[in-house]
């Protein structure tokens, strides 16, 4: 049975709400602003998500209308609020060793090949986790690096970046609920995690041997990238699905420029470089190698 609209409720742009005015024009403004700021292309079906997530920001700022909030974003030099706006609209779904075939390829093929190639030369490996969310991806990469590379003699660093400052704070702490690591093998749990006690009971913390490999930084992929050196490996998974095709083309060109010759790019299971760029060749299972 359809729910009735109460006396104090309004139907605003197809949404039933009791609190904020949210018109079609407001939704289109939100779509344009997030695209300009972060390159994210919001679909028509994201109206309810936008209302739900941004309502909290309107309450925080004491506003009654989305029009006023959009004016705030566009007319004031308020970088902190723009950051909160982006944080609210970005989705952070991640897990340790998500899409495990990528880590199997890293451990069984890519890293052994780099060991053979660089065993008598520059023993240096640089990895970028672009869109690292709460840190599970870069910590998973770090585990594979520690488990596969020789214990000494290698200069290894992981750069982990994300647009969302809140998830980066979690990633930097490296503290997780036990439920987040329940599917890891017992040997990995013992080696790479420290169990919390007292007030931290029910949580684990990533071991220092992994944390020391990783530098966490906030980075908007649409902005200028401050990195000067080239990367051997880039993980950018389940990120470009939020971008339109022109933005994807630009981004993959930039990734190619940032990779060493024949460097590797890992993307998400629902992402593809087909007809987007010719600078990579597919190796299968959403793994690509720079060719130009």
Q: Which of 26, 57, 126, 162 is catalytic?
A: 162
Query: Please, what is the end-to-end C-alpha distance for the chain in angstroms?
Result: 59
Token look-up 């530098």 returns 215
- Catalogue the E-assigned strands of 91-228: 124-130, 155-162, 175-177, 193-195, 203-206, 214-218
With 0-12 / 13-18 / 19 or more C-beta atoms within 10 angstroms meaning exposed / middle / buried, residue 146 is: middle
Give the DSSP letter string of 231-274.
EEEEE--S-GGGS-HHHHHHHHHHHHHHEEEEEEEE--TT---T
- 53 assigned to active site: yes
d(Cα 290, Cα 292) in Å, to the nearest integer?
6
- The residues assigned a catalytic role are 53, 162
């Amino acid at each position: 049975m359809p729910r009735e609209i109460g006396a104090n409720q309004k139907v605003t742009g197809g949404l039933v709400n009791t609190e904020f005015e949210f018109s079609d024009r407001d939704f289109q403004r939100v779509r344009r602003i997030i695209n300009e700021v972060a390159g994210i292309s919001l679909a028509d079906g994201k109206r309810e998500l936008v209302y739900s997530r941004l309502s909290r920001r309107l309450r925080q700022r004491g506003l009654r209308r989305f029009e006023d909030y959009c004016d705030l974003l566009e007319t004031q030099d308020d970088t902190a609020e723009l950051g909160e706006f982006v944080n609210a609209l970005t989705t952070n779904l991640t897990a340790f060793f998500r899409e495990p075939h990528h880590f199997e390829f890293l451990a069984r093929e890519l890293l052994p090949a780099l060991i053979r190639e660089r065993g008598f030369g520059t023993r240096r490996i640089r990895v970028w986790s672009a869109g690292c969310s709460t840190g599970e991806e870069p910590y998973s990469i770090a585990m594979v690096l520690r488990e596969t590379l020789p214990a000494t003699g290698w200069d290894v660093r992981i750069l982990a970046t994300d647009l969302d400052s809140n998830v980066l704070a979690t990633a930097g702490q490296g503290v997780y609920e036990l439920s987040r690591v329940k599917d890891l093998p017992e040997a990995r749990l013992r080696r790479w995690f420290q169990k919390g006690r007292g007030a931290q009971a029910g949580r684990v913390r990533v071991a220092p041997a992994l944390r020391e490999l990783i530098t966490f930084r906030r980075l908007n992929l649409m902005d200028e990238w401050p990195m000067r050196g080239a990367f051997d490996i880039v993980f950018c998974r389940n990120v470009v699905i939020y971008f339109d095709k022109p933005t994807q083309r630009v981004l993959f060109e930039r990734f190619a420029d940032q990779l060493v010759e024949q460097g590797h790019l890992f993307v998400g299971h629902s992402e593809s470089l087909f007809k987007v760029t010719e600078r990579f060749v597919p190796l299968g299972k959403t793994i690509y190698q720079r060719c130009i």
